[in-house]
Structure 1
């Protein structure tokens, strides 16, 4: 995702400021998905990878779930997923990536297509790789 201000569950923001940031993130995710041509998927797992600033303290990538939600909403807006409920989406799951050398912390999304072994709610398995994890989405 483009570099920019992220939301963290430890922040205490005014609701209007938070809404502005969420709207920007949602629009960026939709636009990015269209630009890199992420295909429509029936079901997917989404992982968000936090690339933090280089600091000595430990990081908890789960604190950035507030940033993952508008990005997933943008994927729905772009038509990548029909909806973000548990019928179509597994996750988003947090992961910690390499720190950024300078600037703002960043989040990368990894979208993995899932297929169900049987139509009666069997276990999910990775799909055909329609969206490569090497493509930033």
Structure 2
């Protein structure tokens, strides 16, 4: 996903600042999905991989669930998935990656198609 500010469940933002950031993340995810020409999926599992800043304390990747939610909503806006309900989506599941050596934290999405049973 594009580099920029991320939402964390530990932040205490004014509701309008949170709204603007959520809207931007959602739009970036939609544009990224469209520009990559990703196939349309009926069902998928989504993993979000946190690439943290290099600091010594431990991280809980689940704290970035608000960013993952905005990104998934953007995938739905792009038409990659019909909806983000349990009929079409498993997750998003958090994972950790090694720290990035420059800049701030970032998130990668891993989207895995799940075969739908034939009727």
**TM bucket by the smaller chain?**
over 0.9
Which residue does 2:33 correspond to in 1?
33
Distance in 2 (CA, whole Å) between partners of 1:118 and 1:82 is 18
Render the CA deviation track for 1:2-31: whole Å, top value 9, x for unaligned. Answer: 010001101111000000000000000000
Distance in 2 (CA, whole Å) between partners of 1:27 and 1:76 is 11
Task: Compare relative contact order (CA 8 Å, sep 6+) and give the higher one, 1 or 2.
Answer: 2
TM-score (norm: length of structure 2)? 0.97
Which consecutive residues of structure 2, in runs of 5 or more, have no partner in the other structure? none
Distance in 1 (CA, whole Å) between partners of 2:97 and 2:36 is 21
Distance in 2 (CA, whole Å) between partners of 1:65 and 1:10 is 10
Render the CA deviation track for 1:4-63: whole Å, top value 9, x for unaligned. Answer: 000110111100000000000000000000111111000000000000000111110000
Which residue does 2:19 correspond to in 1?
19
Which residue does 1:92 correspond to in 2?
92
TM-score (norm: length of structure 1)? 0.84
Q: How many residue pairs align between the two structures?
A: 119
Deviation of the 1:115 alpha carbon: 1.2
Cα root mean square deviation, aligned: 1.0
Deviation of the 1:118 alpha carbon: 5.9
Which residue does 2:79 correspond to in 1?
79
